[in-house]
Amino acid sequence: MTVATEPALSPAAERLRGRLAGTPLAGRCEVADRDLPTIEVSPDAWPSLARFLRDDPECRYDLFVDLFGVDNLRRPGQKSRFETVVHLHALARNEHVRVKIPLPDEKKPALPTASEVYPAADWFEREAFDLYGFDFTGHPNLRRILCHDAFVGHALRKDYAPGQRWFFAEEDMKAPEWATHTDERAGHFETQTISIGPSHPATHGIIHLIARLDGEKIIRAETNIGYLHRCFEKMSETHQWNQIVPYCDRLNYVSAMINGVGFVRTAEKMLGIEVPDRGRLVRTILSEFTRIMDHCVCIGANLVDIGALSNFIYLYQNRENIYDLIEACCGARLTVSYVRVGGLAIDVPDDFVPRCRSLLESIPLFLKDVQKLVDNNRIVRQRLQGTGVVTREQAIAWGLTGPMLRASGVPYDVRRARPYDFYDKFDWDVPISNEGDNFARYLVRIEEIRQSLKIIRQALDILPAKGAVSSDDWRVVLPPKDAVYHDMESLIYHFKLVMEGIRVPPGERYEWIEGGNGELGFHAVSDGRGGPYRLRVRPPCFANMQAFQKMVIGGTVSDAVATLGTLNIIAGELDR
Amino acid sequence: MSGVIDVSARIPDRLTFWQRLYLPEIFRGMAVTLRHLVLNVVNPRRMPTIQYPEQKRNYSARFRGKHILKTREDGTLKCVACYMCAQACPAECITIVAGEHPKIAYEKYPVVFDIDMMRCVFCGYCVDACPKDAIWMTRNYEMAFFTREEAVFSIDRLRESKAEIDAHGYGYRPYYPGDGTTPPTDASRLPVVAGSGERDALRQAGVALPNRHVGAGPLNATSQAAKFTA
Amino acid sequence: MSSDAPKGTLPALGPAKAGGGAADFLLTRLEEMVSWARKNSLWPFPFATACCGIEFMSVASAHYDISRFGSEVMRFSPRQADLLIVAGTVTDKMAPVLRKIYDQMPEPKWVISMGVCASSGGFYRAYHVTQGIDEIVPVDVYVPGCPPTPEELIYAIMQLQKKIQSGEKSRDQRSAKLAAERIS
């Protein structure tokens, strides 16, 4: 990409350039200013750059956000066919940075691993290996993570056909070496291996945990994921921008609305269009309601796992009541397909505000019941307190976000750190806890439900009574039906939009919001066609799940079940 | 904007003696559940349970259920087989084969219009895409199939029928009563074009008529299926 | 439902045949009673993988309360279940697991494929998604919807109950035949 006139750098990019100037890295990487400060670096200099970015006192990009590949086969004019993109976050300054690593060797794309610097990079690198075939030299456990073991080829490469499947049989399943062999020298005397999942009531969704037990204590564990890998990213490359919204709903299906909002925000920023206030407020209100549903399911299911059934039924009634509202807005209970690039599919019904207000009345009643049953119950306390502890340092190193990170004492909430829509106008608190155990995560979620109610109340107060919910740019938003039926020009716009899709200008952009489980980001690359060239979703569950196999060490299996519940793993988002 | 609150600081870390005794807390918990039971028995309307199938949940007018193809006043389908719904469908579950209608005002008509209910994700994009007000959705969700073949709905089962609408009602549609949209003019009411309006008769009389694209659409499910075979 | 079904479908379901003698009469009545008992105590194994699993939770919770149909006893061991409800997308990685669970279930057993992902792959025409669980296990009732509403699943369970009352045990053998025809 060539820039005719070099615009002034943002303060963040300026600082990076200044800090890098004095180091040996100076000649090997260049800083540019895109939607994020972007550093381009050669593969061999990447680990030292990562170390520098983490440790330099003025940079301190301590939270590892994302790592993924891009295949530029059908996007001419790029430096190399393959590139790796990394996103990092500095918690102290609330800044993101992007590192781009073009891989010169097209036949055998390889780069050194960064998992020693950022432990969170482990699974992300395995994913890039799985889907792109990047060889991360020095990675301790580089094997497939999402696709099954009998898979041939690398699915997200552009020359891989979207529908090419491979047969997978039971014999092809591979267990790790340490699980199949007992080595007495390694202290495996009188230990046993158990396998939990992939179909097990405690593994919400489908994950597979292999654990080696010494008596009752877990001494080694490994989680297998990918049992719900539905190829979201490949599917989004074969569809138009608006057609991806239904796929987004099925990422984190417990809070479907938030995913859609996150995705269309990326497209809207690339297009540079504005959504009217009313549309954005409706999105905010419904997003917060879905966040409440998300937390309700998480808490309810977690309590069922540890043996408390009534809470689930009370919390689920909340959900059903919210379903009523959502169904009245968009026509479906769970998978809403309500947002569109540029606004909403349709305006909310007339009785939207009173319905919201009555929900605001009823939800706290159920919460009160649940808290009465749970908060001072000795069994719940014993199961949750002091189990699954994550310290502040561990949480940052493992790349956790969302309620997980906040329960470990880091007040990072995207709604506060980088307010989007109207979150800076509302009066609300970020709940945190310094305990870092399962009980702290339960308390944080309960408090977040209350804070969400607070946000909804304020949003309803400033919601304009009338007005458009969508942009009136007909190159992006379908014209009103009245015009389509009777006006030739509108019909042409309608036709162009349906048949060709939205023409998003070429370029790339990363936008992130606070999902139910943490930072939910969408990185889109457009080449000007009607659909994205590459769409990467940064799933918060993926990083959270990665920490699970480390969190359970030293605890019992029953602790692992309680911990898995508070992680709130949504398989659709974890495996995509 | 506001601050940060520590939720653990608010709740005592250790339980009191009474709480550790466990039994008092059990009874407190029992009281909560028992209250629900008693209230439900005293006031059955408070109970959330919907006695399906006798009693049905009141879904909104926007519910996205089974599709219907709208008809003109003379009973022909409003659909002109323009393939827009097939193109907008993310699941590619709509198969259309177009034919040339003898009446000029009707342009084309669908010879085949199949919706594969086993692929459809009920997103409503077909309704949004239709420029002719020809496809709506109903509130009919009562579908279950014994085989995959019977899940492919053809025109016979998609055509709007009064019985179905009376039983279930309209669902998601392009416009709702009272939102100010004027439906497109019914083509059966349009004035007859140039002579009889019959395409063949006009052609025989030497009138130059454009040839419509008939046959399978550019992007229908069959051509997609060829692309995506495993 | 079966009247306008296209050809290739299975024969229509009818009541169990009436017998001739007294012993036959008694046995038929017994058979009917067994069917009646079976259909009203379907113990499901919820093979909930994805979004449909969340709607399945709705069916089990207060608003829909599946126990009104005698199916509230969720069994997470296949050996204790007689109805396999596959709720959600099944990927190629999960397929052997599903088959194993099905094989572990004792006869008589039935399978409901809930949602379009399980039934046909839905809109995931993709490299890692099984295009319908009937590639792996025989299916008795398919439920469309993405995800189906809870009523839709209850409706499907009611259809299955009718089918059980008619005396049909499982679709396994007939499906195997159909599958063999499809491959050749």
Contact A495 B84 (CB under 8 A): yes
Residue range of the domain that includes A456: 232-575
Contact A349 B60 (CB under 8 A): yes
Domain boundaries, chain B: 12-44, 67-227
Of the options 3.30.70.3270, 3.40.50.300, 3.30.70.60, 3.20.20.70, the CATH number for the domain spanning B67-227: 3.30.70.3270
CB A541 within 8 A of CB A225: no
| Per-residue model confidence as pLDDT tens for chain A (576 residues) | 444 445 567 888 888 888 888 787 777 888 888 888 888 888 888 888 888 888 888 888 889 999 999 998 888 888 888 999 999 999 888 888 999 999 888 888 889 999 889 989 989 999 999 999 898 988 888 888 888 888 888 988 888 888 888 888 877 777 777 777 776 666 656 778 888 878 887 777 688 888 888 888 888 888 888 888 988 998 888 888 989 999 998 888 888 889 999 999 999 999 989 899 999 999 999 999 999 999 988 898 888 888 888 888 888 888 888 988 999 998 888 888 899 998 898 888 888 999 999 999 989 988 888 888 888 888 888 888 888 889 988 899 998 998 989 999 888 989 888 888 888 889 998 998 888 888 899 999 999 999 999 999 999 999 888 888 888 888 889 888 888 888 888 889 898 888 888 888 898 999 999 988 889 999 999 988 888 999 999 989 888 888 888 888 888 888 888 888 888 888 888 888
CATH code of residue A121: 3.30.460.80
- Does residue A373 belong to any structural domain of this protein? yes
Residue of A540, A532, A547 lying closest to A570 (CA atoms):
A540
- Chain position carrying tokens 């870390």: B13
Q: How far is A163 from chain C, CA to nearest CA, in Å?
A: 5
For residues A423 and A560, membership in a common domain is answered with yes
CB pairs under 8 A between A and B: 141
Neighboring chain B residues of C5 at a CB cutoff of 8 Å: 147, 149-150
- Does residue A60 belong to any structural domain of this protein? yes
Q: Which residue of C has its CA nearest to B226?
A: C125
Neighboring chain A residues of B129 at a CB cutoff of 8 Å: 498
Residue A429: which of B3, B15, B48 has the nearest Cβ?
B3
- Does residue A1 belong to any structural domain of this protein? no
For residues A130 and A237, membership in a common domain is answered with no
**What ipTM was reported for this prediction?**
0.85
DSSP, res A555? S
Residue of A399, A527, A542, A523 lying closest to A100 (CA atoms):
A523
Residue of A201, A261, A285, A268 lying closest to A473 (CA atoms):
A268
DSSP string, A224-284: E--TT---HHHHHHTS-TTTHHHHHHTTSGGGHHHHHHHHHHHHHHHHT----HHHHHHHH
- Contacts with A497 (C-beta within 8 Å, 6 or more apart), sequence order: A474, A475, A476, A478
- Does residue A36 belong to any structural domain of this protein? yes
- The total domain count for chain A is 2
For residues A345 and A490, membership in a common domain is answered with yes
- Report how far residue C106's alpha carbon sits from residue A311's, in angstroms, rounded to the nearest whole number: 33
Q: How far is B1 from chain A, CA to nearest CA, in Å?
A: 5
**Interface subset of A 85-114, CB within 8 angstroms of C:** none
Domains defined along chain C, listed by start: 43-183 (3.40.50.12280)
Residue of A397, A394, A420 lying closest to A408 (CA atoms):
A394
- Report how far residue B25's alpha carbon sits from residue C148's, in angstroms, rounded to the nearest whole number: 40
Residue A234: which of C74, C127, C147 has the nearest Cβ?
C127
Domain boundary pick from A112, A137, A162: A137
Residue C127: which of A162, A317, A319 has the nearest Cβ?
A162
For residues A336 and A451, membership in a common domain is answered with yes
- Does residue A89 belong to any structural domain of this protein? yes
DSSP, res A95? E
The sign of the torsion formed by the CA atoms of A61, A62, A68, A69 equals: positive
Helical spans, DSSP H, in A133-230: 177-180
- Does residue A210 belong to any structural domain of this protein? no
Helical spans, DSSP H, in A306-437: 310-330, 352-374, 378-384, 392-397, 403-407, 414-417
B64 at the A interface (CB within 8 A)?
A: yes
Neighboring chain B residues of C141 at a CB cutoff of 8 Å: 144-146
Domain boundary pick from A114, A137, A160: A137
Domain boundary pick from A137, A164, A180: A137
**Interface subset of B 133-172, CB within 8 angstroms of C:** 141-152, 156-157
- Does residue A5 belong to any structural domain of this protein? no
A485 at the B interface (CB within 8 A)?
A: yes
Residue B62: which of A317, A331, A486 has the nearest Cβ?
A331
- Does residue A177 belong to any structural domain of this protein? no
C88-112 CB burial, b ≥16 within 10 A, e <16: bbbbbbbbbbbbebbeebeeebbbb
